[in-house]
Amino acid sequence: MTQPTVPQPAICDYEGSTYRTDFWEGKGREYEDAVERTILRRFLPRHGKRYVDFGAGFGRLIDLAAGFEEIVVMDYSRTMLQEAQARLGRAERFIYVAADLYKLPFAANSFDAALLCRVIHHLADAPAALRQIRHSLAGGSTFVLEFANKLNLKAILRYALRRQAWSPYSREPVEFVRLNFDFHPAYIREALIAAGFRPHRRVASSWLRLALFKKVLPLRAMVALDRLLQPLGAWLPYAPQIFVENRVSGAPTPLVERDQLFRCPITGAPLRREGDLLVSTEGNPRWAIRDGIYDLKEPLT
């Protein structure tokens, strides 16, 4: 089965990026990290067979999947995956995959739980990536999505004071910096439903993301206060960050076995392993497995 050719959207490439040390370590973002974890602990299943973190970066949130038998750490950037591998190790249960969210290399029914956190804001064609993700998930599985919300209090205020040209109320995504998008909650909801997800719980978070609060309030108090405000996300989603817990429509389906996990990102045909290669069962594409990372970004020539 050949996949239709569609123009490839530009990719926010983290190859060689120092994201971990530039953005997280020692950068005063303990509040953001802690809040995300409290939400994900509530939204993600505790146990399961195969979990995937799409756009996992250096694997910051992988510990949340500890109860799963197999954990796929997927990202476009090979260097991010190398960092993840250095942190998490090479145990059999970790499967490191370099791939593109617009051309996912996973068979249908590959996963029973998935996360996309701090990634969709880099996607110029978010609906296309959501469709790819949906294809890889089994019926009845859980998909947790985090997105940056354009309908936040700061943007509403700035728009009202004419300090910002774009409207937080309009549904289309706003690209505030190249390949950095904020989304309207209604746009994301529609895209999720169109892709075959059933949005279930929604919370708004990071209400206190201000230097002043971080200065005067202890971390625990900020996290507790944020937790109290999060349910507002169901009806008044005016915080900068939103999390949606989704179910995949359809009856629960058994997952594919590990040796059937991969499909060719070009043709969609199953891939079979030959030594350190994955070989398409249709046509010629071949893909490398290097130092424990399945490299499904570009085929070998």
Ligand X SMILES: C[S@@+](CC[C@H](N)C(=O)[O-])C[C@H]1O[C@@H](n2cnc3c(N)ncnc32)[C@H](O)[C@@H]1O
Site residues (vs ligand X, CB under 6 A): 11-12, 14, 19, 55-57, 60-61, 75-77, 80, 100-102, 117-119, 122
CB of 241 to ligand X, least distance (A): 11
Which residue is it, tokens 């940056």?
Answer: 148
CB of 58 to ligand X, least distance (A): 7
Residue 41 or residue 272: which is nearer to ligand X going by CB?
Answer: 41
Q: Which helix (H) or strand (E) holds 135?
A: helix 126-136
Residue 129 or residue 278: which is nearer to ligand X going by CB?
Answer: 129
Residue 196: how many CB atoms within 10 A of its CB? 18
Residue 6 or residue 170: which is nearer to ligand X going by CB?
Answer: 6
CB of 50 to ligand X, least distance (A): 18
> By beta-carbon distance, which residue lies closest to ligand X?
57
- Kindly report each contact of residues 81-86 with a partner whose C-beta sits within 8 Å and lies 24 or more positions away, as own/partner: 81/56, 81/293, 82/291, 82/293, 83/20, 83/57, 83/58, 83/59, 84/56, 84/57, 84/58, 84/59, 85/291, 85/292, 85/293
Residue 39 or residue 101: which is nearer to ligand X going by CB?
Answer: 101
Residue 118 or residue 202: which is nearer to ligand X going by CB?
Answer: 118
Query: Which of 154, 151, 156, 137 has its CA nearest to residue 188?
Result: 151
CB of 144 to ligand X, least distance (A): 11
Residue 75 or residue 295: which is nearer to ligand X going by CB?
Answer: 75
CB of 18 to ligand X, least distance (A): 12
Q: Give CA separation, 48 vs 30, 69, 73, 119, 191, in Å.
A: 28, 7, 15, 23, 26
Asked whether 12 and 122 are in contact (CB, 8 A), the reply is yes
CB of 55 to ligand X, least distance (A): 3
CB of 191 to ligand X, least distance (A): 16
β-partners of residue 270 are 263
CB of 105 to ligand X, least distance (A): 11
Exposed/middle/buried for residue 42 (C-beta within 10 Å: 0-12, 13-18, 19+): middle
Report how far residue 138's alpha carbon sits from residue 164's, in angstroms, rounded to the nearest whole number. 42
Pairing of strands 197-205, 241-248: antiparallel
Residue 27 or residue 272: which is nearer to ligand X going by CB?
Answer: 27
Report how far residue 279's alpha carbon sits from residue 43's, in angstroms, rounded to the nearest whole number. 36
Residue 23 or residue 274: which is nearer to ligand X going by CB?
Answer: 23
Q: Give CA separation, 49 vs 39, 68, 113, 168, in Å.
A: 21, 5, 8, 40
